[in-house]
Chains A and B, each alone.
Chain A
Amino acid sequence: MEKIQGNVPSVLVHDKDSAKKRTKKKFNVEHLLLGSIIPAFLIIAWEIFSRLGVFPSYMLPSPSVVLGTIIGLGQDGTLAGHIGITTYRVFAGFILGTIAAVILGSFVGFYQKAERLLDPMIQAFRSIPSLAWVPLFILWMGIGETSKITMISVGVFFPVYLNIISGIIGVDRKLIEVGSINGLNAFQLVRRIILPASLPSFLTGLRSGLGLGWMFVVAAELMGASQGLGYLLVLGQNTLSPETILASIILFAAIGKLSDWLLKIIETRALHWQDRVAKL
């Protein structure tokens, strides 16, 4: 079911990885234990070496210090604000990008004229690395929320758009014929056959898009922000405190994973009818 992915390789790898896990649902607990042996070992080793003074603490603070930093941020009440604003930006950008992708993608997928008219242009835009837009967006919209959210939605747009189109184009002609013989009109064909049939591809697009959203929020917040996890990165750099940077990285990883996990649950629920093993 992996069709067109975003143009960023990390997203592709990520998705394949989760597809692999799907087949091993039964061994989930065993899987989890097995998968955490090496990380646990590394963290313990890191802690020990830091305490022994092998890693200088101004370069690589120990895991307990990083954890302490996160707890400290939580206690002085700023953590929730940082997480909240970053999540809000990703969420808003994700929604906007998805809406744009659904509208343009369905147009281009359904109408050949729209495809000829719009698709070459969108494909040309796609070949521009999306981060290259940043200076222009800042110039146009300042460094406020608007430019950040716009940037994130640009990142989300492409994987969702491409997957919608490939989903619509890939609908089995034989199923559409069953609809036609049952007297469905164009609108009913879309609602009853094309939409459900292209749902798997759309959801793949959403997950890729969300991954890119998290990547773009880092870039957007690095450009200038007074709050957010990306701001913590800059703050850590400027105040020479690697524990703040590491705390931010860990929070990014955790929230990113959590949001992907939520989408994955939605995906599994919505696509329970799929004959997965045969498709993998």
Chain B
Amino acid sequence: MSLELRNVGRVFNGIPAVTDVSFSAKPGEIIGLLGTSGCGKSTLLRAISGLDNEYDGEISINGKTSKMIHRETGFIFQEPRLFPWLTVLGNVTFGLTGEKQEKEQLGKQYLEKVGLSGNEKLYPKQLSGGMAQRVAIARALVTSPEILLLDEPFSALDAFTKMQLQDLLLSIWKAYQTTIVLVTHDIDEATYLCDRIIILRGQPGEITKEIKLEEKRPRARGSKQLAEIKTEILKSLDLNKAVDLTTV
């Protein structure tokens, strides 16, 4: 599904959080949103998902402009947001419809993919932070949404699990041609996964740069090309200057 943002902005209590963001995503494209903390990345994702509908500008999905929640979107939040009264399996199958047995079978498959098989019967209170986040990831992926919005999905995980789940995300993308918008702080993650990286900066947040990555996936982690792009991103984020601004 295609996605288009036209001059999207959001004002909270008279204070603008993001202004004038426009970009579009072709079906099956992976877009990365990169930027310093508080520049409005989560705010943008919420607007795209329809959870927030008090933004300015227009967002259209598959050419249709609407401020409603779109049925085919999946969202992985910055926190796990599991239902404490459901088991791990119950949480994963929450968004599925249909026969119980089929739901549970599918749920188990995805739990295995995120490395949690055997933990189906646990309750959220028995999970570690990383396990909880992996359950949340399985819950969002199991419905195979056509647009997937991810808000720093892997930031609570160890480096190894993180890489595994990035590859899981890619395999799902490959199977379903999912359009993905990924918010991340991790530049390596962005260069490994994305077709395009959009860099936001400032308060209110604005787009400062868009970087296109032509390299085919799967990409080699830590390759020369990716390292070059990383340097470019670091330059455009201009981190030294940003630090100066915040300390003044």
Contacts and interface: CB of A to CB of B under 8 A. Distances in A.
A197 B124 CA distance: 14
Given A174-B81, A196-B83, A274-B84, A181 B69 contact: yes
Choose among B69, B86, B143 the residue with the greatest number of A CB atoms under 10 Å from its CB. B69
A199 B86 CA distance: 13
Given A182-B143, A183-B69, A174 B84 contact: no
Given A178-B94, A181-B75, 14 more contacts: A177-B51, A178-B77, A178-B81, A180-B51, A181-B49, A181-B69, A181-B73, A182-B95, A182-B143, A183-B71, A183-B95, A193-B83, A272-B123, A274-B84
Interface of B: 49, 51, 69, 71, 73-75, 77, 79, 81, 83-86, 94-95, 123-125, 143
A174 B84 CA distance: 13
Task: Report the 4 A-B pairs with minimum CB-CB distance, sorted nearest first.
Answer: A182-B95, A275-B125, A196-B85, A273-B85
Interface in A154-183: 174-175, 177-178, 180-183
Contacts of B124: 273, 275
B51 A181 contact: yes
B79 A174 contact: yes
Contacts of B85: 196-197, 199, 273
B229 to A, nearest CB: 32
Given A273-B85, A274-B125, A174 B143 contact: no
Interface in A59-106: none
Interface in A232-280: 272-275, 278
Contacts of B71: 183
Contacts of A178: 75, 77, 81, 83, 94
A192 B74 CA distance: 18
A80 to B, nearest CB: 40
Contacts of B125: 273-275, 278
A273 B123 contact: yes
Contacts of A199: 85
